[in-house]
């Protein structure tokens, strides 16, 4: 594989494009707006600069990576000669099905179509194409340039050849691919989301406050980040969407979203992306923290 197209320039999409380009693949990053593409490329540049400052890469590597990246708002043209397309759009079933129908129509017959979905059935996605044997899940973890794991999910019709090819490709990216079966939430979110949901229930029931819950899990369970802070970084809307997929897939009440989570999403409190979730990420809050640090100094 040489030519890679990534659909979606958001947090996951730009991270996936970054990693492929850093490993010398030719990468086209696609989104519906130039603004989204500009934002995605700016994120890649900032992440490369951060790696440069830490000494993990040199200036030559930064320029080489950027040189492997192009952007486009025309998906039809961008995927025409792709060996692999990785879809990293919003976690919405209808949107993903539409994208895969379009990809199937415009890609070469041998192109592998991968999805970064964190919970949606690979079999369902593959069923809307004429190449279900070439449809597979590549669930990268956030932040993509740092996290080693990639969940590799085979749909019911995914071929051995496709699965083997994607496993080997993931290793070339410096990742650790792990094969899992196609059930709602796969492994990562089937375990993680109920934990996050239970942390929200614990807050909802008044057992403890936000910082107290996160402190218990960080210091008591050695988690690098508390579940409520992690939910903010994932996006509360994404957490809610995944819980709906789990609940619809298993019909088990343990996956039913906490009412507090539902209300926060409806109120637009989505976490880091909106500036407020269980924690306050607004500019005014940042200014307060800086002022507080000066006072202490």
Is 159 one of the annotated binding-site residues?
A: no
Q: Which of 151, 197, 244, 276 is catalytic?
A: 151
Q: What is the pLDDT of residue 291?
A: 43
Is 263 one of the annotated binding-site residues?
A: no
Q: Which domains does the chain have, with CATH numbers?
A: 3-181 (3.40.50.720), 190-290 (1.10.1040.10)
Q: What is the pLDDT of residue 141?
A: 96
Q: What is the pLDDT of residue 290?
A: 42
Q: Which residues of the chain have pLDDT under 50?
A: 287, 290-291, 293-297
Catalytic residue flag (residue 124): no
Catalytic residue flag (residue 118): yes
Count the neighbouring beta carbons within 10 Å of the beta carbon of residue 100.
Answer: 25
Taking alpha carbons only, the member of 278, 289, 274, 257 closest to residue 210 is: 278
Is 119 one of the annotated binding-site residues?
A: no
Q: Are 223 and 245 in contact (CB under 8 A)?
A: no
Q: What is the pLDDT of residue 285?
A: 64
Kindly give, in sequence order, each residue whose CB lies less than 8 Å from that of residue 269, ignoring residues fewer than 6 positions away.
Answer: 236, 276, 277
Catalytic residue flag (residue 18): no
Kindly give, in sequence order, each residue whose CB lies less than 8 Å from that of residue 30, ignoring residues fewer than 6 positions away.
Answer: 5, 6, 7, 8, 9, 71, 72, 73, 74, 75, 78, 79
Is 226 one of the annotated binding-site residues?
A: no
Q: Which of 116, 139, 197, 241 is catalytic?
A: 139
Q: Which of 47, 82, 118, 274 is catalytic?
A: 118
Where helices occur in 135-235 by DSSP H, the ranges are 160-172, 188-204, 210-215, 221, 227-234
Catalytic residue flag (residue 223): no
Is 13 one of the annotated binding-site residues?
A: yes
Q: Which of 14, 47, 170, 189 is catalytic?
A: 189
């Amino acid at each position: 594989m040489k030519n890679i197209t990534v659909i979606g320039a958001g947090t996951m999409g730009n991270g996936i494009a970054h990693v492929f380009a850093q490993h010398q693949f030719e990468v086209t990053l696609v989104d519906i707006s130039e603004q989204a593409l500009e934002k995605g490329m700016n994120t890649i540049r900032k992440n490369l600069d951060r790696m440069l400052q830490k000494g993990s890469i040199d200036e030559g590597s930064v320029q080489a990576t950027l040189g492997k990246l192009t952007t486009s708002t025309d998906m039809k043209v961008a995927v025409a000669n792709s060996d692999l397309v990785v879809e990293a759009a919003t976690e919405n079933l209808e949107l993903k099905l539409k994208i895969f129908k379009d990809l199937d129509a415009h890609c070469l017959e041998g192109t592998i179509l991968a999805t970064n979905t964190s919970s949606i059935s690979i079999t369902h996605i593959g069923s809307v194409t004429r190449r279900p044997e070439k449809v597979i899940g590549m669930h990268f973890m956030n932040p993509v340039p740092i996290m080693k794991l990639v969940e590799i999910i085979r749909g019911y019709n995914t071929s051995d050849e496709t699965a083997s090819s994607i496993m080997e490709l993931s290793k070339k990216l410096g990742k650790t691919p792990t094969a899992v079966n196609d059930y709602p939430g796969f492994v990562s979110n089937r375990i993680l989301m109920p934990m996050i949901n239970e942390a929200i229930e614990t807050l909802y029931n008044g057992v403890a406050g936000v910082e107290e819950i996160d402190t218990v899990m960080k210091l008591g369970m050695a988690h690098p980040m508390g579940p409520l802070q992690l939910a903010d970084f994932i996006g509360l809307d994404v957490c809610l969407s995944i819980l709906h997929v789990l609940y619809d897939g298993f019909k088990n009440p343990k996956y039913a979203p906490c009412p507090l989570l539902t209300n926060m999403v409806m109120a637009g409190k989505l976490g880091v992306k909106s500036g407020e979730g269980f924690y306050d990420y607004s500019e005014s809050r940042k200014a307060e923290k800086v002022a507080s640090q000066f006072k202490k100094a």
